[in-house]
Amino acid sequence: MRRKRSAAARVVQGTVVRRVDRYWRALLSTVAAVGLVLGALISLPGAAQAAGSLPCDIYGSAGTPCVAAHSTVRALISSYNGPLYQVTRASDGATANIGLLSQGGYADAGQQDAFCGNSTCAITKIYDQTSRHNDLTPGPAGTSGMGADRGADASELSVTAGGHKVYGIWISPGVGYRSSGAASGVAVNGQAEGAYMVASGTHVGSACCFDYGNAESTPADTGNGHMDAVSIATTCYFAPCTGSGPWVEADMENGMFQGDNGSNTANTGNNSTYVTAMLKNNGQTTYALKGGNSQTGGLRTQWAGALPTRGGYRPMHQEGGIILGTGGDNSNWNMGTFFEGVMVTGYPTDAAENAVQANIVSVGYSGETDVPNGPQGTITGPGGQCVDVAADDTGVNRAAVQLWNCQSYAEDQYWTHHANGSLSTIGRCLDIIGNGTANGTQVELWDCNGVGGQVWNQRADGSLFNPQSGRCLDSPNGATANGTRLRIWDCNGSAAQRFTLH
């Protein structure tokens, strides 16, 4: 069952640049922690970050180098000037790499806008910015019973970072990414590691699993302690929990842990528009969770203490795979929005983590994160209901197209009307079953292929007219109940055939 959520955006502008006199410059050469914090504070939104000031620079200077760095928003290493992600165009299968406006800077969203044009694009690769090439691609089917993952709609959510338009990764059920096997340099068999991600605190759910971090090398649950991923979700796996979340949690396989053996009532959650979620684990006895508002302020420690005493977690048994948006066995039922994240080897210092949070705040993230705001819009029909795809954003071929209560975060209620007359959502088109023309033929979702049964022309009376059949999109007998299956019928100008594209 879907639940509507709201968001409030707050713009944080800039950071304070302080003069450093000779005394402090001399001290900085020997006191690394102070250098880390000041390095993060001298970055300004709207420009490439200063050398040594980005998250992987900070972690590396503290002796915990990045082994993976992923973002569709910005460089996470000051020397990086390569691609951030790859998009694939639905109309012809062509691909394009989306890079940076400048070295160490922000994504060139204009590249994506120009390439995707009147088609839709999916994010089909997220490049690792480290030299290890731990790239992420849509994951294979796993033992959870779910099929292979699809890539996220590339234009689903745009926000502002560093004063520039950028795109986040909108995760819906069925969307997810994974490394191929064990990733290079990622912790295994009880080695220490850390990770963070910047994600939405308003586009969240309670299903399994919106994770980023270490997972099995194959998409299967291989036992307790074989995962070590950070999550933000409304999942209260070990009761009691405080409030309704979302909470920053650790997915260590077979449990979403907030502290010690699971429950931790001191974790009060974080529902800010942007959330910094951090996890570190020494692999043997101890782990910590931290959360913060990515737009302002510092980090709050949610847990710093013992690993679970349940069997399998002391020591950990990580396998070194990397996941984004799913669980280790490819459980991909949850939702979330991802902007950036890294994984490091070793147990990060508090000073390094504080400096990373200061750098994140300096980015000036702004914009809502729970409402799709790309070129698509909703289609409302009889009773003010939305045109919706059955099965909650999974969008497979033959999925029923129906009426349902409008919900701001429901990806499959946002449609793009293309120049060729087609209407698409989650990478597929509104289609008449069997390319049929007879009265009463139902509509469904199907791969966009340019056939006549996928052409819909909006007419002055509000109807959506299909020229091939000579009939209109229709709600049987004007029904408005959730789950009403849509069809084609002789055009008659009734309320049952009035649809508004927003």
**pLDDT tens-digit map of 34-43:** 344 444 443 4
Domain boundary among 362, 388, 409: 362
**pLDDT greater than 70 at residue 45:** no
167 Cβ neighbours under 8 A, 6+ residues apart: 72, 73, 107, 109, 112, 154, 155, 156, 157, 158, 159
Helix H, strand E, coil C: the string for 197-262 is: EEEECCCCCCCCCCEEEEECCCCCCCCCCCCEEEEEECCCCCCCCCCCCCEEEEECCCCEECECCE
Task: Read off the pLDDT band of 427 (50, 70, 90).
Answer: confident
Residue 357 lies in a domain: yes
User: What pLDDT score does 21 carry?
Assistant: 36
Determine the pLDDT at residue 23. Answer: 35
**122 part of a folded domain:** no
pLDDT at position 58 over 50 = yes
pLDDT tens track for 359-374: 999 999 999 999 888 7
- Which of 362, 389, 412 corresponds to the end of one domain? 362
- What token pair was written down for 114? 């120009």
* 22 CB burial (10 A radius; 0-12, 13-18, 19+): exposed
Asked if residues 36 and 62 have their Cβ atoms less than 8 Å apart, the reply is yes
Q: Place 20 in a pLDDT band, splitting at 50, 70 and 90.
A: very low
355 and 428, same domain (yes or no): no
Report whether pLDDT(419) > 90: no
∠ CA 121-127-128, rounded to 5°: 160
Share of the chain above pLDDT 70, in %: 89
> Do 418 and 424 meet the contact criterion of CB atoms below 8 Å apart?
yes
- Residue 116 inside a domain? The answer is no
Is 179 within the bounds of a domain? Answer: yes
Q: Are residues 295 and 320 in the same domain?
A: yes
Q: Is residue 118 part of a domain?
A: no
What's the average model confidence in pLDDT over 411-435? 91
In 356-460 the beta strands, taken as DSSP E runs, fall at: 379-380, 386-389, 401-404, 416-417, 423-425, 428-432, 443-446, 457-458
Last residue of a domain, one of 362, 392, 423: 362
Domain for residue 290, yes or no? yes
Q: Which residue type sits at 474?
A: D
Nearest to 230 by CA among 136, 302, 123: 302
Measured distance CA(273)–CA(288) in Å, rounded: 23
The single-letter DSSP state of residue 77 is: S
pLDDT at 26: 35
Pair 151, 88: CB distance under 8 Å:
yes
219 lies in the same domain as 350: yes
User: What pLDDT, on a 0 to 100 scale, did the predictor assign at position 391?
Assistant: 80
Flag whether 7 is in a domain.
no
**Is the domain of 180 the same as that of 326?**
yes
Structure-block tokens of residue 490: 């002789």
Verify whether residue 249 is a known catalytic residue. Answer: no
Q: What is the mean pLDDT of residues 219-240?
A: 97
Asked if residue 433 and residue 345 are part of one domain, the reply reads no
Least confident of 67-71, 294-298, 444-448, 488-492: 444-448
| 253 lies in the same domain as 293 | yes
**Which residues form the domain of 349?**
22-74+139-144+159-362
Angle at 70 between CA 348 and CA 416, to 5 degrees: 145
Same domain, 340 and 486: no
Helix axes 32-41, 350-362, angle to 10 degrees: 10
> Do 307 and 384 have their domain in common?
no
User: pLDDT at position 408, please?
Assistant: 83
Residue 405 lies in a domain: yes
Quote the pTM value: 0.83
Q: What's the whole-number mean pLDDT along residues 323-336?
A: 96
Query: Is the same domain home to 485 and 345?
Result: no
CA pair distance 47, 267, nearest whole angstrom: 35
CATH number, domain containing residue 386: 2.80.10.50
Residues 277 and 302 in one domain: yes
**Looking at 135, 211, 253, 368, which residue is catalytic?**
253
Q: Of residues 146 and 125, which shows the higher confidence score?
A: 125
Dist CA 502 CA 498 (whole Å): 13
Residue range 164-210, pLDDT digits in tens: 999 999 999 999 999 999 999 999 999 999 999 999 999 999 999 99
**pLDDT above 50: residue 326:** yes
pLDDT digit string, tens, across residues 336-353: 999 999 999 999 999 999
396 and 311 in a common domain:
no
Where residue 52 falls among pLDDT bands split at 50, 70, 90?
Answer: low
- 392: confidence class by pLDDT, cuts 50, 70, 90: confident
Distance in angstroms (rounded) separating the CA atoms of residues 284 and 274: 31
| Dist CA 237 CA 245 (whole Å) | 12
Residue 319 is part of a domain; what is its CATH number?
Answer: 2.60.120.200
Question: Could you report the per-residue pLDDT of 241-278, keeping only the tens digit for each?
Answer: 999 999 999 999 999 999 999 999 999 999 999 999 99
pLDDT computed for residue 118 by the predictor: 72
pLDDT computed for residue 416 by the predictor = 87
The whole-number average pLDDT for the span 393-411 is 88
- Dist CA 431 CA 427 (whole Å): 13
Give the pLDDT band (50/70/90) at residue 49: low
Strand partners, 317: none
Q: Are residues 356 and 438 in the same domain?
A: no
Task: Return mean pLDDT, the chain.
Answer: 90
How much is the pLDDT for 120? Answer: 84
Contact criterion met (CB below 8 Å) for 156 and 325: no
Count of structural domains, the chain: 2
Average pLDDT estimate for 398-413: 92
Q: Is the pLDDT of residue 226 over 90?
A: yes
Considering 193, 211, 329, 411, which one is annotated as catalytic? 329
211 is catalytic: no
Please report the pLDDT score of residue 333 as a whole number: 93
In this structure, what are the phi and psi dihedrals at residue 151, rounded to the nearest 5 degrees? -75, 150
